[in-house]
Structure 1
Amino acid sequence: MNLLAELLPPLSHKPRVRERVVSMFQSRLNAASERLEKLLSDHGGDTAAMLRSGRAAAQ
């Protein structure tokens, strides 16, 4: 997620705002990933397992 922090517009002078934006993005991304994982597990377990392992590697 450091890439996101680098891509943010000049919020660097407001680190708390930057932290909140990154945190909000991470939580939404995690929620979307979990929903996608559930959807894929309902339709094919192998793909869901790959998604889980990719998410674990990213953390």
Structure 2
Amino acid sequence: MAKEMRALSSQSLQSTQRIGKILLEINQAIRETVGIAEDGQPEDGGGHRAGALVPPRR
């Protein structure tokens, strides 16, 4: 029984690490996409991009 619990614990840890890596990759892809989208948007003169997908960082 203890051996099975250790195996399940190990699988859980590996799965959690994989999920973390996937989330980081998704986050990076979103940031890149927003950056590309913002690069194509003209500024409105006030330091804001017209039609920006996210508010500017302060």
Q: For the superposition of Structure 1 and Structure 2, which TM-score range results when normalised by the shorter chain?
A: 0.5 to 0.7
- Which whole-Å CA distance do the structure 2 matches of 1:25 and 1:36 have between them? 16
Larger relative helix fraction: 1
The Cα RMSD (Å) is 1.7
Number of equivalent positions: 38
5+ residue gaps, structure 1, are 1-12, 53-59
1:35 lines up with 2:32 in the alignment: yes
Q: TM-score if structure 2 supplies the norm length?
A: 0.56
* Amino acid in the other structure paired with 1:48: L
How high is the sequence identity, in percent, across the aligned residues? 8
Q: Match for residue 48 of structure 1?
A: 53
- Which whole-Å CA distance do the structure 2 matches of 1:39 and 1:48 have between them? 11
